[in-house]
Structure 1
């Protein structure tokens, strides 16, 4: 494992929610931590010159621009990490510098709770296996589950892990607005599952839209996904217009076969969630 007690970690964007979380974590692990941000005296350039490990923790829609501006300042012997929801372009940009490169994606938001069981994805760029292993061990030490994959594989998986769920939720919100049905009204007659869906809609729209817009627009696979969805929705429309229930049921059966045993496992797991949710609702 990398010994942080004699290392300086510089967090660019370290005043933000995610950046400050990682700054606290590295301090707790014994590193000297430097922070630069919009209103700090310390510049990004000076931070890089004084750091052994550099972390880019900046808004996703600005990440390429900020990395591009600083990549020439990165030095041999340094490790550079970035914290963002997309990896292909970010890792490719960092690879242009002299430092060892690892893209990171924490699959959790800023939290003051324990890191136990939370997942962190590492996407090594130009770096030694020893370095990526050492960085992974740092986060495993605080209880994180570390998963390693290429930047390209990451962004492909994020198509279904992030882009599809976010698009579905945003479109559901748009539909409520279009129909003029406020969630408070539909929640009065909601099933437990629908109430959970409403909570997810509210959860997404309680946060900054630019993050979700950047995840959807920035993923290199989104365009092909939307083309597929458009084609599929057009097919559904034709089947609904002609009342072709058998065709709709055939689609359902095809997916059912593909999912296999996962469906029953997911049903059982979601039943536990619903039971806990009902207990919580009964106390309100």
Structure 2
């Protein structure tokens, strides 16, 4: 086993669920982890000034202001990273306010997981990447897949991976609630894919409403894209209202052609074959 020098790590927002996950993982590996919350800024000189690595793990809307505030206390050699689900603004802020090593990270999982095994972490290089090599090696050694991206590419893909997906499931959940659907009864005569979809909607509504709203509203680009998605729903609903079967088939075939060219069927088959977990287990915070 390769020896890794213990590092001093401070996690800003470390008492949150994702902060706790990183605290547990890094502490178990022998690193000295300190936490800095709202009540701890009087100790910022010690907590931040002596750290080898500072991880920012706060709500999306507070990330940039926390980066600006924290940077004043950092040594020029301290590595500064954030684990927020948007990357362009945080990475820009870290590069602007901190002259030392900078990197953006986005763990693509919720804090209910117990390890990095089989998870994905997006890595957005910023400055002096070598200072983070020990951290990336640690995450990879625990079984995670590291995906390198620019902040801009990450944020565009997250519009689709996160924002429109959340909005679609949020909309379905609101509709089912408004229609007062007997979910248990519907599950008793459902297909595996319906049960899976209901489990996913359950998972969404098991998390904090503030987190869900933050993910949907995080950027203007997300809001505009969701508006275009809503327009698509409206257009298709009008076709249904007109009972225009030919137009509906035309829309289907156009999308079908796109997916035949771009998707990998084996991944879809895996999703259908995956076990359906009871709602009580699906208490993860979405990413």
**For this structure pair, what is the TM-score category when the shorter chain's length is used for normalisation?**
0.7 to 0.9
TM-score (norm 2): 0.85
Unaligned runs of 5+ in 2: 279-287
Residues 224-250 of structure 1 deviation map (CA, whole Å, 9 limit, x = unaligned): 312322332332233223222111111
Contact 1:4 1:31 survives alignment (8 Å): no
The alpha carbon displacement at 1:268 in A equals 2.8
Contact 1:100 1:128 survives alignment (8 Å): yes
The alpha carbon displacement at 1:164 in A equals 1.6
Equivalent residue number for residue 272 of structure 1: 273
Once residues 54 and 90 of structure 2 are traced to their aligned partners in structure 1, the CA distance between those partners, rounded to angstroms, is: 14
Unaligned runs of 5+ in 1: none
Equivalent residue number for residue 122 of structure 2: 121
Equivalent residue number for residue 218 of structure 2: 218
- Figure out how many residues of one structure are paired with residues of the other and give that number: 275
Equivalent residue number for residue 83 of structure 2: 83
Equivalent residue number for residue 72 of structure 1: 72
The alpha carbon displacement at 1:41 in A equals 8.4
Equivalent residue number for residue 161 of structure 1: 161
The alpha carbon displacement at 1:259 in A equals 1.1
Contact 1:170 1:201 survives alignment (8 Å): yes
Equivalent residue number for residue 258 of structure 1: 258
Runs of 4+ in 1 over 6 A off after TM superposition: none
Contact 2:167 2:226 survives alignment (8 Å): no
TM-score (norm 1): 0.86
Equivalent residue number for residue 249 of structure 2: 249
Does 1 or 2 have the higher relative contact order (CA < 8 Å, sep 6+)?
Answer: 2
Once residues 11 and 102 of structure 2 are traced to their aligned partners in structure 1, the CA distance between those partners, rounded to angstroms, is: 15
Contact 1:106 1:119 survives alignment (8 Å): yes
Change (3 A) 1:111 1:232: closer
Change (3 A) 1:120 1:28: same
Structure 2 residue matching 1:122: 3-state secondary structure: strand
Change (3 A) 1:162 1:113: same
Structure-to-structure mapping, 1:227-246, within 5 angstroms: 227-246=227-246
Equivalent residue number for residue 191 of structure 2: 191
Equivalent residue number for residue 26 of structure 1: 26
Change (3 A) 1:136 1:234: same
